[in-house]
């Protein structure tokens, strides 16, 4: 288990993590979500003793990282798949870690097989590895000590669809063995399929700690509207917004509406004489629920127009 109690980290005038109290329990995959700058990576670094907390505690199995006698046997982590010596092969990288931590050499072959890196790939220098292969090697390193606690930061970056599915299956199988699995990711669709539980941060503070299904349900149902008449659709959007609904345009011929019902949207369209090609209710998604949760906790927002060249 990972236990965080009033965990706080300040960098001069910036509070990266603000009084975070949460338990990351074993036996389930916990998704660690939040906008850029929310404090996710800093929290993981605090757990691993790479940064010192300003206040509070980060514990692994009831102890801080610095007090673990055999840390790689207690927690495995992937924070940066590129943190490798560029000239060292993947096998040599893992062998050095194993030798320096009292891990049998045979374990290197076991984790290479687990992550799907064959002898040819394992013999390549790190600089010759693709991003996806580097991610697999980083996960192999996290698994090397066969720890009960695992933390992965954006583990599917650079992986092809088969690799993404493999990460999902691996995470679930590790949790099924009773391990603690914490995954930080910005891919909402993948987290929706992978995580049993979600911890969501915003500006360093905890804003959700609940089962995935409960967080998604909090996003409510959405009504999708399509019309061949853009001006009529714009008028419908104005009326819905005035009535308190949240309206998201999907181009000139489509709207997604939350905070209203399909019946009310249909009635307003009829009143305005707007022809409809589609009017349907859609299940809430994690992406929509996440956007609603974090709407007031975003440090960086894109402008309405395109980026300048």
Q: Specify the CATH number for the domain of residue 109.
A: 3.40.50.300
What per-residue confidence (pLDDT) applies to 277? 95
Do 200 and 105 share a structural domain? yes
Distances (CA, A) of 147 to 31, 46, 165, 192, 287: 19, 18, 22, 25, 31
* Pair type for strands 55-60 and 2-11: antiparallel
Q: Average pLDDT over the chain, rounded to whole?
A: 90
Do 173 and 35 share a structural domain? yes
Q: Is residue 191 one of the residues assigned to a domain?
A: yes
User: Is the per-residue pLDDT at 218 higher than 70?
Assistant: yes
Do 150 and 20 share a structural domain? yes
Average pLDDT for residues 133-161, to the nearest whole number? 92
**Cα–Cα nearest to 23, from 47, 41, 39, 45:** 47
Q: Assign 301 a pLDDT band (cuts: 50, 70, 90).
A: low
Do 272 and 126 share a structural domain? no
**Cα–Cα nearest to 120, from 90, 142, 94, 99:** 90
Q: Assign 307 a pLDDT band (cuts: 50, 70, 90).
A: very low
Range of the domain at 159: 2-210
Question: For residue range 13-72, what is the model confidence (pLDDT) as tens digits?
Answer: 899 999 999 999 999 999 999 998 899 999 999 999 999 999 999 999 999 999 999 999
Question: For residue range 159-184, what is the model confidence (pLDDT) as tens digits?
Answer: 888 889 999 999 999 999 999 999 99
Do 192 and 165 share a structural domain? yes
């Amino acid at each position: 288990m990972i236990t965080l109690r009033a965990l706080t980290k300040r960098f001069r005038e910036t509070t990266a993590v603000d009084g975070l109290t949460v338990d990351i329990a074993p036996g389930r995959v916990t998704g660690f979500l939040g906008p850029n700058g929310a404090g996710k990576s800093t929290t993981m670094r605090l757990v691993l003793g790479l940064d010192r907390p300003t206040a509070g505690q980060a514990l692994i199995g009831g102890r801080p990282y610095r007090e673990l006698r055999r840390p790689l046997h207690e927690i495995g982590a992937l924070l940066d798949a590129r943190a490798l010596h560029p000239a060292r092969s993947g096998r040599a990288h893992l062998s050095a870690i194993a030798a320096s931590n009292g891990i049998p050499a045979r374990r290197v072959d076991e984790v290479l097989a687990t992550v799907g890196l064959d002898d040819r790939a394992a013999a390549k220098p790190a600089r010759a590895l693709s991003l996806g292969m580097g991610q697999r090697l980083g996960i192999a390193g996290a698994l090397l000590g066969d720890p009960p606690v695992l933390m992965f930061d954006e583990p599917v970056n650079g992986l092809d669809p088969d690799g993404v599915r493999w990460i999902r299956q691996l995470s679930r199988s590790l949790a099924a063995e009773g391990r603690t699995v914490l995954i930080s990711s910005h891919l909402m669709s993948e987290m929706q399929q992978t995580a049993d539980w979600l911890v969501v941060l915003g500006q360093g503070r905890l804003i959700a700690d609940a089962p995935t299904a409960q967080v998604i349900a909090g996003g409510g149902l959405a009504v999708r509207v399509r019309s061949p008449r853009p001006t009529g659709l714009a008028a419908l959007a104005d009326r819905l917004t005035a009535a308190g609904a949240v309206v998201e345009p999907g181009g000139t011929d489509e709207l997604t509406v939350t905070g209203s019902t399909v019946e009310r949207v249909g009635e307003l369209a009829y009143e305005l004489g707007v022809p409809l090609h589609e009017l349907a209710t859609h299940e809430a998604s994690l992406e929509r629920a996440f956007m609603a949760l974090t709407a007031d906790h975003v440090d960086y927002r894109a402008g309405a127009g395109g980026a300048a060249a």
